[in-house]
């Protein structure tokens, strides 16, 4: 049972209602409903919170509860299953069929929400961006834009800076920045937050977290899947806008940011913004030397033959399914340190990781004894298995009559093992709870989004000017060979 202490003056109150748009969609069934159930089962949301789902599907309350029950049966992880908690969770649910393209129909929300004028409401938009404008207009007509209402926005938020500004302007007309929560689910992952703990909770790392000690940084987000039912969205968007513009640039910002004054929404996001604004533009002059694009052809992934992108799509396309970039953060801390970013579909395995390559020691005292030193490396694995691995040099056992032998050995922290008594959470659990409670720390601010789009738009302009066509690569490989050359020109090898 949750205790509800009397709030302090000016404190943000937890929402008493959660209005969930796109409640019958794929994201809701795979992530949102299981996440909300987990919060319910652990008593992390107040008993009075009601969840009102809405979508075009013509369902009543009972029909939506059946959809939710099926979603829990299909997608809930074994360690989150609690059959005794399911009836109580389903009782929280209500449903309103609604055509989000018709703002005048939003008055139907008033009775199911059933809240007093000043009770806090959280709204979660998991809808197509084309419906954002009409949805905001409908919410305003229904009076759901007051100071007690905050709104969460699921990506994509536009396809470039201009279209993003149109969406953000429409949202800002009803919800000021402090009540707008832009969602990047990567920021809800435990290991991403552990990156902040690693840097700012341990004295040993921060003095070395700069160009003096770090040679380069690699960020890889690889997928084994192809289109997987995302044909209508993915083609024309591509890897740069789908993954780099949001997830990967947010990871880069967390790696490169200065220490914030405190772990709070303004401090953390201010420091991320400084990094994003310090990114050296990749423009028409440098796009050929600093970027590589690819598109998967037929091949084999995990021992299974898979078709090429064009075969899956059913038509010709120049959409990139792979992109590799060489980026620089132009400030004192990172002067001269390249950041290599790589993401793609139909790659050999699925993982997201940050790889930090430290510089060599300035002088080896073991050279005369025949020992070979390797630079230290830090590997932060975000998924599928969350772990932190530091590779250090250690002496092999022995009497050293033929010289000292040193070997690279790992210092491993498996978060799964170290915190074996803790359930591994879906990132959306944290983000939904933060939206309900009104904590914006792990959400993306508008000026961050615009800085990201400005950098991405310059790359796409360079591609258009140079008539860049994605290079083919066989499914099940690490992209086109040009991606290897991108790093090897600098004497660097991708960490696979």
Residue 7 pLDDT exceeds 70: no
Produce one character per residue of 425-462: b if its CB has 16 or more CB atoms within 10 Å, e if not.
bbbbbbbbbbbbbbbbebbbbbebbbbbbbbbbbbbeb
Name the pTM for this structure: 0.91
Top mean pLDDT of 72-81, 92-101, 318-327, 381-390 is at 318-327
Q: What is the pLDDT of residue 11?
A: 64
Q: Is 377 annotated as a binding residue?
A: no
Residue 26 pLDDT exceeds 50: yes
Q: Which range is least confidently modeled, 114-118, 129-133, 247-251, 320-324?
A: 114-118
Higher-pLDDT residue of 187, 35: 35
Q: Is 155 annotated as a binding residue?
A: yes
Identify the residue whose tokens are 């740069």: 240
Top mean pLDDT of 2-16, 235-249, 374-388 is at 235-249
Residue 78 pLDDT exceeds 80: no
Residue 215 pLDDT exceeds 90: yes
What is the rounded CA–CA span in Å between residue 90 and residue 99? Answer: 24
What is the rounded CA–CA span in Å between residue 155 and residue 6? Answer: 35
List pLDDT tens digits, range 417-426.
Answer: 666 566 667 7
Q: What is the mean pLDDT of residues 303-318?
A: 93
What is the rounded CA–CA span in Å between residue 224 and residue 246? Answer: 20
Q: Catalytic positions, please?
A: 247
Q: What is the pLDDT of residue 415?
A: 67
List pLDDT tens digits, range 47-61.
Answer: 999 999 999 999 999
Mean per-residue pLDDT of the chain: 89
Residue 222 pLDDT exceeds 90: yes
Q: What is the mean pLDDT of residues 200-204?
A: 88
Contact 377, 357 (CB under 8 A): yes
List pLDDT tens digits, range 361-402.
Answer: 888 877 666 677 888 999 998 888 788 888 988 877 877 666
Contact 490, 338 (CB under 8 A): yes
Q: What is the pLDDT of residue 392?
A: 86
The pLDDT > 70 percentage for the chain reads 94
Q: What is the pLDDT of residue 2?
A: 38
CA 339 to chain centroid, in Å, comes to 18
Q: Is 345 annotated as a binding residue?
A: yes
């Amino acid at each position: 049972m949750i205790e509800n202490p009397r709030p302090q003056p000016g404190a943000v109150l937890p929402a008493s209602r959660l209005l969930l748009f796109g409640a019958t969609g794929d994201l809701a069934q795979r992530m949102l409903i299981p996440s909300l159930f987990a919060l319910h089962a652990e008593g992390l949301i107040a008993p009075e919170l009601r969840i009102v789902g809405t979508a075009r599907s013509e369902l009543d309350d009972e029909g939506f509860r059946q959809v939710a029950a099926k979603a829990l049966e299909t997608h809930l992880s074994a360690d989150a299953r609690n059959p005794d908690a399911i009836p109580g969770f389903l009782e929280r649910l209500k449903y309103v069929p609604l055509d989000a393209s018709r703002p005048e129909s939003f008055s139907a929300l008033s009775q199911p929400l059933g809240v007093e004028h000043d009770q806090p409401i959280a709204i979660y938009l998991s809808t197509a961006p084309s419906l954002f404008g009409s949805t905001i207009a409908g919410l305003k007509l229904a009076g759901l834009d007051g100071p007690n209402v905050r709104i969460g926005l699921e990506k994509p938020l536009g396809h470039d800076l201009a279209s993003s500004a149109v969406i953000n302007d429409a949202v800002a007309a009803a919800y000021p920045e402090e009540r707008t929560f832009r969602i990047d689910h990567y920021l809800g992952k435990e290991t991403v937050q552990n990156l902040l703990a690693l840097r700012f909770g341990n004295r040993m790392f921060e003095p070395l977290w700069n160009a003096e000690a770090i040679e380069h940084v690699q960020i890889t987000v690889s997928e084994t899947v192809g289109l997987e039912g995302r044909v209508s969205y993915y083609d024309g968007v591509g890897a740069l806008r789908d993954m780099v513009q949001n997830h990967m640039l947010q990871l880069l910002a967390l790696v490169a940011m200065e220490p914030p004054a405190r772990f709070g929404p303004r401090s953390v996001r201010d420091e991320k913004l400084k990094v994003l604004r310090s990114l050296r533009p990749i423009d028409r002059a440098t796009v050929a030397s600093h970027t590589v694009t690819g598109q998967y052809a037929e091949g084999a992934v995990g021992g299974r033959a898979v078709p090429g992108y064009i075969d899956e799509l059913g038509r010709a396309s120049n959409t990139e399914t792979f992109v590799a970039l060489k980026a620089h953060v132009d400030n004192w801390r990172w002067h001269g340190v390249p950041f290599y970013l790589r993401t793609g579909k139909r790659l050999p395995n699925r993982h997201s990781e940050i790889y930090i390559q430290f510089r060599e020691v300035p002088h080896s005292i073991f050279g005369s004894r025949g020992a070979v030193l390797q630079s230290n490396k830090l590997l932060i694995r975000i998924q599928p298995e969350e772990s932190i691995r530091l590779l250090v040099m250690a002496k092999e056992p022995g009497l050293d009559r033929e010289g000292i032998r040193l070997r690279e050995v790992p210092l491993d922290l498996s978060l799964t093992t170290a915190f074996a008594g803790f359930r591994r959470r879906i990132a959306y659990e944290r983000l939904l709870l933060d939206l309900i409670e009104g904590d914006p720390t792990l959400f993306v601010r508008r000026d961050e989004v615009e800085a990201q789009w400005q950098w991405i738009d310059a790359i796409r302009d360079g591609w258009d000017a140079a008539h860049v066509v994605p290079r083919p690569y066989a499914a099940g490989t690490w992209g086109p060979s040009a991606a290897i050359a991108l790093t090897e020109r600098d004497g660097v090898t991708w960490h696979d």
